[in-house]
Amino acid sequence: MGSMSSRDAARVEDSLSRIVGELVSVVDRLVADPGDLDRVLDVLTRADRVFVLGAGRSGLALRMTAMRLMHLGLDVHVVGETTTPAIRAGDALLAASGSGTTTGIVRAAETTVAVGARIAAITTVRDSPLARAADALVVVPAATKLDRSGTASAQYAGGLFEQAVMLVGDAIFDALWHRSGLDGDDLWPRHANLE
């Protein structure tokens, strides 16, 4: 792949600066109005088991969160994996959908409510089916994947929301880790060793 010219590098640098600037803005707004961020911790720590669900890139970001929650010792399952058991009362669903209307995620939220489990949701739309079902709600001030206006984000197809899901997931893990009193050596034995 040849070397990158300074013009190409400048474009990448401009993109990095724009993306970081948008992320800083989202984080500043979440910190200023945290909503249910700490309540998410309560939903997850009180759960017998935690199920994570998101579609596309949001789902990939939540898979990273699932791994870290497992490192903490939580019983975590990624919805859609062949070994994922049925959700039941006492469990929690951690779900992300920018629009809050993704069919499979809304259906899973309905099932979660029907069995008496709790929901922690991450979305951009406060008045969406997913948000209305949630026991703890994080509303990320970002564009949905269909918003091409450029007002909430200059990034393509919900990129800012998906990045924020990853950051919120890491912040959830980090807060739970610090509350636990465990250190890195305590978590390390749960790290994958079949790599």
The residue extents of the domains of the chain are 7-189
- Count how many residues are written for the chain: 195
The pLDDT tens digits for 101-122 are: 999 999 999 999 999 999 999 9
52, β-bridge pairs: 78, 94
Dist CA 44 CA 23 (whole Å): 25
Q: Which amino acid is at 121?
A: A
Known catalytic membership, residue 195? no
Task: Name the helix (H) or strand (E) containing 78.
Answer: strand 76-78
The pLDDT tens digits for 17-71 are: 999 999 999 999 999 988 899 999 999 999 999 999 999 999 999 999 999 999 9
Express as a percent the part of the chain with pLDDT over 70.
Answer: 91
Of 13, 110, 162, 195, catalytic: 162
> What pLDDT score does 175 carry?
96
Backbone region of residue 95 per phi and psi (left: phi > 0; alpha: psi in -120 to 50; beta: other values): beta
> What pLDDT score does 152 carry?
75
Inter-residue contact 140 to 119 (CB < 8 Å): no
The pLDDT tens digits for 132-164 are: 999 999 999 987 766 666 677 777 778 899 999
Q: What's the mean per-residue pLDDT of the chain?
A: 91
DSSP 102: -
CATH for 7-189 is: 3.40.50.10490
